[in-house]
Amino acid sequence: MLEKKTSLIIVGCGFLGKAAASLFCSQGYSVLGIVRTPLEPIFHTDHNEEVVKASAVMRVMNSHDIGADTDYPRKTSCSTQHPSGFTVSTSDEHQTSGLVKHSPTEKSYSLLSCDVTDPLAVDALTKNIPPESLLIYCVSSGKGGSDTYAAIYRDGLERLLHSWKPKRALFVSSTSVYGQKDGEIVTESSSAEPDRETGRILLEAEKIALQSGGVVARLSGIYGPGRSMLLRKFLEGTATLENGGGRLINQIHRDDAASALFCLMTHENASGIYNVTDDTPASQREVYAWISEALQKPLPPPGPADLNRKRGWTSKQISNEKLHTLGWAPQFPSYREALPELIEEILLKRED
């Protein structure tokens, strides 16, 4: 059982979920992060000074593990800097448009392994969740196809909400539900007609979340510490300017995505669907030109459109205006601002 203060369950404590967990626990929330992979004692550190230590964790991976250990979950120690440097707060210190900076703090959150595709495991999990807890459903299918998407995103969410009614729920979806290809501006009221079955499954999961009174966050392509598909392709020499490089790309830094989740979960006026992306949609040519300039290397060669990409082939300008009305603003308004630190992190990672 979690401590008797505001409790948050993050289902999917991976690249984004871990940053969100650190942010919420730094603001006084009691956080339980749910991961699907069986957990072992770990020691992890990254270039953001985030440190995670776990001496033991509870495993609720399938029906055979239920009830095995009664003294878990144990606490996970994490020394963190706030992911974006800003959070919504009632404090008057360093006040800036409702957002305040704060210093690194020693906080902790728990980790638990639970397979959301296993009904018995979910049932065991929900029996130990405080009834007034909050929920962020932030899962990933890895490299799975439509069957995996359905099992994890749609069916897993429905199963969890059937067993437990959180005080407030936030479902993390994707802007891949928008299929626009002509460079038009896309808002939350724009048509969502994805080309891929995975996008249609996300829409079904969104409907489940909204019908339960939850909020939906549609995230654009996430990059961040040690991770950027575009930069990786450039460095590997596999990048091309598809059809001249005019396709519009929408991205969000992981830390800005985490601060957006915090805003959407804590703002009393947040409701419905929100696009979560930075302020600057850019063409593929622009993005590669920024990387080329930073690395003093030539632009990638021209190439055909990659019509097999997982998120589908689209060209659109995702608007984040609705999210801005809640007082949120990204630390990295465009990919360009993040590049110097991103390049250093990825080059260091390649050397390891």
The answer as to whether 2 is a domain residue is no
Give which of 155, 282, 217, 242 is closest to 16, Cα–Cα: 217
More confident residue, 126 or 64: 126
Total number of domains in the chain: 1
Residue 351 neighbours by CB under 8 Å, 6+ apart: none
Give the total residue count for the chain. 352
pLDDT tens digits, 278-311? 999 999 999 999 999 999 999 999 999 877 766 6
Residue 231 neighbours by CB under 8 Å, 6+ apart: 223, 291, 339, 342, 343, 346
pTM above 0.95, yes or no: no
The answer as to whether 44 is a domain residue is yes
CA pair distance 352, 346, nearest whole angstrom: 10
Q: Look up residue 298 and give its amino acid.
A: P
The answer as to whether 236 is a domain residue is yes
Lowest-confidence segment of 50-64, 225-239, 330-344 by average pLDDT: 50-64
User: Given this model, what pLDDT does residue 154 score?
Assistant: 98
User: Given this model, what pLDDT does residue 102 score?
Assistant: 29
Beta-strand pair 134-137/168-174: parallel
Separation of CA 144 from chain center: 17
The CATH number of the domain holding residue 187 is 3.40.50.720
pLDDT tens digits, 166-211? 999 999 999 999 999 999 999 999 999 998 999 999 999 999 999 9
Range of the domain at 192: 7-351
User: Given this model, what pLDDT does residue 107 score?
Assistant: 61
